[in-house]
Structure 1
C-alpha cells in the first residue's frame, strides 16, 4: 500500500479527514512520542541495579541517563533542520530504526561504557523522533484538528513518563535489567512498520528552494548545547567553566549564522514576537514543572515525613493527570483558539504555584496534591495550546527545525530547573544536606521555591501580553 499522501499531498492540510489511514499515521507518531519519553523515565529506575551489575559507582552509572539526554538536547534542532532538507519521512524512519537497534545494543552491552555509548545512539534516534513528530502533524491532519493531534502527542509523552518507573521496576524484578531496553524493540518495530506504511511521502521540492546544510553552525550548536547540559547536570553544583564555554559557543553560533548563506537557524525568525515569546515561555514553564519533580520528593519525605511508598503515589499524580488532560486540552485549543488557551493554561499554573507555596504546610499531603493537580492541568493546556499556535503558523519548509526548537526549549527548561530550582530549595531550607532537613526547613524551602516558580510564570504571562502588543504593531 502506498503512503497516505503522495508528492502532491499538499492539500491534506486543508482537507484531511479522520480516515483509518490517518488514524494509523497518528498512531505511529504517538508511539514514537511514547518511546522517546519512555526511554528517559524507564532507565532511571534501573540505575541501582546497573551499578551492581557492572560493579560501578553511582556517578558512572548516571551517564546511562545523561548520555541519552545529552544526545537529545544537543542534536534535536540539527536533526529537525536536516529533516527539512532531505525529507522528513526518510529521516523519521531512520530515527525509529536507529532507536530500535540501539535499544537492542543496550540490552546486550557487555560493559557499562558500551551501554552508555548505545544510549547515546538511542538518544540520537529519540532526537529525530521528537523533532519530527510534531512537524508531521501539519502534513497528517487538517489545520482545524491540530490542537487535538498535539494533545494526543502530549498524552502519549505523559504516559511514557508516568509508565517508565513502574514498568521498569516490574521488568527488572521479573527479567533483569536488560528487559528495560528490550521492551523498546518490539514497540519500535511496530512503530517503524506503521510509519513506513501510513506516513505521508516526502514532497519533492526543487533543490534551489531547500537551501543547503550548515555544518559549522550544526557543530557549534551541538557543542554549545552539550556544554550547557553538562554544566547543569555534572557534579553537585553549576560547572562555571562549562557554562562559560556554552556562552562563548552561543556567541560564535550567532556570529556564524548571521553570515552563512544557508544557516541552520534563520535568526530573522526571532523577530517574530509570537515565536520567540513561545520559545521563551516553554523554557520558563518547563523550569517550573521540573521543580515539582526535583523539590517534591524531598518535601514529601522530609517536610511531611511520608514513607517511600506514599511519596511514590503522590509523585505519580502529576503524570497521571497530565495523561488524562492533554487530549481534552487539544480539543479546547481547537475550539477556543490556541493563543487564548495558552493564557488560560499559564493562569492555572500561576494559581497552582501560589497554592503550593501556602497550602502544604497547613493542609499536609492534600495541600500538596490538590495544587499539583491545578499546576499539571494548567501545564497540559499551556503546552498543547502553545505547540499548536506555533506549528499552525509555520511554513512546511521550516516545520522540522521549529519543532526541534520547541523541544529544545522544553529540554533546556527541564535541565535548568533541575539545577536552579533544586539550588533555590537547598538555599531556602538553610541546610547543608537536604536529605537530612528538618520538617520546618523543608517547608520553608517549599514555600520559597514555589514563590520563585510563581514569579517565573508571571514572567511568562508578561511575555504573552508583550508579544501580542508587539505583533499588533508589526501587523
Structure 2
C-alpha cells in the first residue's frame, strides 16, 4: 500500500521504536508461535460442533440449549476482538497475548472437567475471550517481526494455520469422542496451549513502553457500547434457527441504534476506541467491506453445501463429510503459496486477482454441479478456495504492513471482526436465500430438484456479491493512485 497521509499513517513520527526486525532464525520461531496461536483459536471454533449430539445426551438437554456451547465461544470473540486488540496496543501485545493463551488454556481445562452444561457454556465464553486475544494479536505481531517484503508470506502462513484448524476440528473431534469421550475435545487444547505459551514467552519481542500518555486511557464507554451492539447483532442473526421473528427484529434495531450511539460517543471522547476518522481511510474501509462480503460468501458453501450433497446428489454422510473437507484442505495447501504471490505481485493486484478467482468459483458453483454433478462441485470449490486464500493474504497485508505500531492490535481486531460479522451474516442471509430459492416450506423435505435450484440461485447471488466486492476493490485502487499523484 503506498504511503499516504491517512489517519493510519500520519502518527508515525510519534510512534516509539520497535527495536527493528528480529534475525531470520528468531523469526522462524516467532512465526511458529503465532501459527500455533492461530491454529488453537480456529480449532476451538470447529472442534466443538461435532460434540453437540453427544452433549445433548450427556446433559439431557435440547439442541437449542447445547448450541450455546458453540454460540458462547463465537459471541465472546465477536464482541471483544476489537477491544482486546486496542488493549494490546496500550498495555503491550506480548503481555496480553500471554494472558490470552493462559486464559484459553485454563478455560479449556475447565470445559473438559465441567460437571454441568451451564458451567461448560460459561467456560466456553471464557475460552472465547482468550481466543479473541490470540486472533487479534497474531496478525499485529507480523508487522513488527517480519520485513515488509515478507509480510504476504507471513499472512499466508497464518491463513494456512487458520484453515488447518478449521479442517482438523471435525475429524479430530470425532476421533477423540469415539476413542475417549467428549471431554477430550476440550482437554486436547491444554498441552497445545502450554506449548504455545512457552514459545510466545521465549521468542516474541518484548513490549515497548508507550510514550503517548493519551494512549493509556482505555475507552470503557466505547468498549461497552461496541460489545453490546455486536452482541445484539450476533444474537439477531443466530437466534431462531433461521426464523426471523419479533425478537430478532428488536435485536437488529438495538444493534443499529447501538452503532449510531457508539459513533456519536467516539467522536466526543478524548481517547476513543475507534476514531471515526479511521473509517475515512479508503484502504481500511474498503478492506473491511470486502472482508465482510467475502466471508458472507464463504459461509454459503458451509450452509448450502451439505444440503446439496446429501439431498440433491444423494451422497452418504461419510461422503458428504469427505466432500466438505475438500475446501479446507485446498485452503490449507494454498495459503503459503498465496502469501508468496502477494510478496511478488503486490497486495492491491493480488486482492483483485483473488476476487476474480472467487467470482469465477461462485458462478461455477451455480452452474457446473448441474452439468457435471459431483465433479462440477469439486472443480468449482477448487477455483473458489485458492481465490479466497489469495484475497485473505493480500487484504490483510494491504492493511497491516504500513500502519503505525500503536494501532496494529486495533486494526487486526477490526479485520477479524469484519470477517466474523460476514460469517454470522452469511449463515443467516445466505441460508434465507437458499430456503427461499427452494420454494419449500421445509428444506429437510424439499425435492432434490428444488435443492439444486436453491444451490444455483444462492451462488448466483454470491457471485453478484463478489462482483460488488470487485467494484469496491477497483474504487479503492483508483483512490490510492489519485492520492499518490496528488502527493507527487
TM-score (norm 1): 0.96
Match of 1:130 in 2: 135
Partner in structure 2 of residue 446 of structure 1: 455
Q: Does 2:234 correspond to 1:198?
A: no
What are the within-5 Å matches in structure 2 for residues 216-365 of structure 1? 216-236=221-241, 237-238=243-244, 239-365=248-374
Which residue, 15, 18, 28 being the options, matches 1:10?
Answer: 18
- Residue deviations 1:224-259, cap 9 Å, x none? 000100111111223111111111100100110011
- Residues 348, 477 of structure 2: 8 Å contact kept: no
Match of 2:110 among 101, 105, 109: 105
Per-residue deviation, residues 10-54 of structure 1 (Å, max 9, x unmatched): 3524xx4421x2211111100000000000100000000011100
Secondary structure of 2:24's counterpart equals coil
State the SS of the aligned residue for 2:197: helix
* SS of equivalent residue, structure 1 residue 77: helix
Q: Deviations over 1:392-426 (max 9, x none)?
A: 02110100000000000000000000000000000
1:437 and 2:441 correspond? no
How far 1:210 moved relative to its partner?
A: 2.2
Displacement of 1:468: 1.9
Q: Give a deviation string over 1:53-84, Cα, whole Å, max 9, x none.
A: 00100000000000000000000000000111
Q: Residue 417 of structure 1 aligns with which residue?
A: 426
Partner Cα separation in structure 1 for residue 406 and residue 209 of structure 2: 11
Give distance in 1, aligned partners of 2:478 and 2:318.
49
| Cα distance in 1 for residues equivalent to 2:481 and 2:146 | 29
Tell me what 1:3 maps to. none
1:467, distance to aligned residue in structure 2 (A): 1.4
Within a 5 Å distance, the mapping from 1:50-129 to structure 2 comes to 50-129=55-134
Task: For 1:142-153, list aligned pairs within 5 A.
Answer: 142-153=147-158
Question: Which residue of 2 is the match for residue 395 of structure 1?
Answer: 404
How many corresponding residue pairs? Answer: 466
Contact 1:12 1:141 (8 Å CA) reproduced: no
**Whole-angstrom CA distance in 1 between matches of 2:320 and 2:384:** 18
1:334-388 superposed Cα distances (whole Å, 9 cap, x missing partner): 1110111110000000001111111101210111111011100100000011001
* C-alpha distance in structure 2 between counterparts of 1:285 and 1:443, whole Å: 23
Q: Give, in whole Å, the separation in 2 of the partners of 1:147 and 1:362.
A: 37
User: Offset of 1:474 from its aligned partner?
Assistant: 3.7
Measured in 2, the distance between the counterparts of 1:436 and 1:222 equals 39
Residue 367 (1) aligns with residue 372 (2): no
Judged with a 3 Å threshold, the aligned counterparts in structure 2 of structure 1 residues 453 and 8 are, in CA distance, closer, same or farther, namely closer
Unaligned runs of 5+ in 1: 1-6
CA–CA separation in structure 1 for the residues paired with 2:224 and 2:85: 14
TM-score relative to the length of structure 2: 0.94
Q: Contact 1:17–1:142 (CA<8 Å) still a contact in 2?
A: no
Shift of 1:300: 0.7
Query: How big is the shift at 1:471?
Result: 2.6
CA RMSD between the two structures: 1.2
8 A Cα contact 2:215 2:271, kept in partner: no
Q: Bigger CA drift: 70-79 or 303-312? A: 303-312
Whole-angstrom CA distance in 2 between matches of 1:95 and 1:116: 18
In structure 2, C-alpha distance between the alignment counterparts of 1:386 and 1:100, rounded to whole Å = 30
Question: What's the CA shift string for 1:91-137, capped at 9, x where partnerless?
Answer: 00000000000000001111001000000000000000000000001
